Amino acid sequence: MKRYFGTDGIRGKVNDELTAELAFEIGKSAAYTLKENGGKGFFLGKDTRISCDMLAAALTAGITAMGMDVYNCGVIPTPAVALITNLLGATAGIMVSASHNPPEFNGIKFIFSDGYKLSDSLEEKIEENL
């Protein structure tokens, strides 16, 4: 099985390694895997890369297809997504950003309900459920 998660989420060249189809499947798998965590759904933020809207829409479609809610936070820093995920009782947070990588890349970072990065075991479960 291919590993999608690296040291800080999923990253790749947009429309090559990281496609809308993959983001949709990741959204579905994350919702399925994390549903038992409870919470108010997913808080989703993004940076200003042009591909963020496509990836955010695909993630949202996958999550909502599994019956969970997504709250779009718009353009927001990653620490703010972590904070509101924790303070507002979310199932998890998602940040669409590739940080310091070139603009043709993007990434998907998951934040657990406690405001910290998902554990390796939860990332592995999301991958297994893809």
Predicted confidence (pLDDT) per residue in 29-67, tens digit: 999 999 988 888 999 999 999 999 999 999 999 999 999
What is the model's pTM?
0.95
Query: Among residues 83, 66, 77, which one has the least CA distance to residue 126?
Result: 66
Structure tokens at 34: 């994390």
Q: Supply the pLDDT for residue 39.
A: 82
Q: Supply the pLDDT for residue 40.
A: 84
Q: Supply the pLDDT for residue 1.
A: 63
| Domain residue limits at 116 | 5-128
Q: Supply the pLDDT for residue 38.
A: 81
Q: Report the number of distinct structural domains present in the chain.
A: 1
Give 10-residue mean pLDDT values along the chain (130 residues): 88 97 98 88 97 99 97 98 96 95 96 95 94
29 part of the active site = no
CA 125 to mean position of chain CA atoms: 14
Please, are residues 97 and 52 in contact by the beta-carbon 8 Å criterion? yes
CATH, residue 63: 3.40.120.10
Q: Supply the pLDDT for residue 36.
A: 83
The secondary structure of the chain in percent helix, strand, coil, rounded to multiples of 5, reads 40, 25, 35
Catalytic member of 99, 113, 119, 121: 99
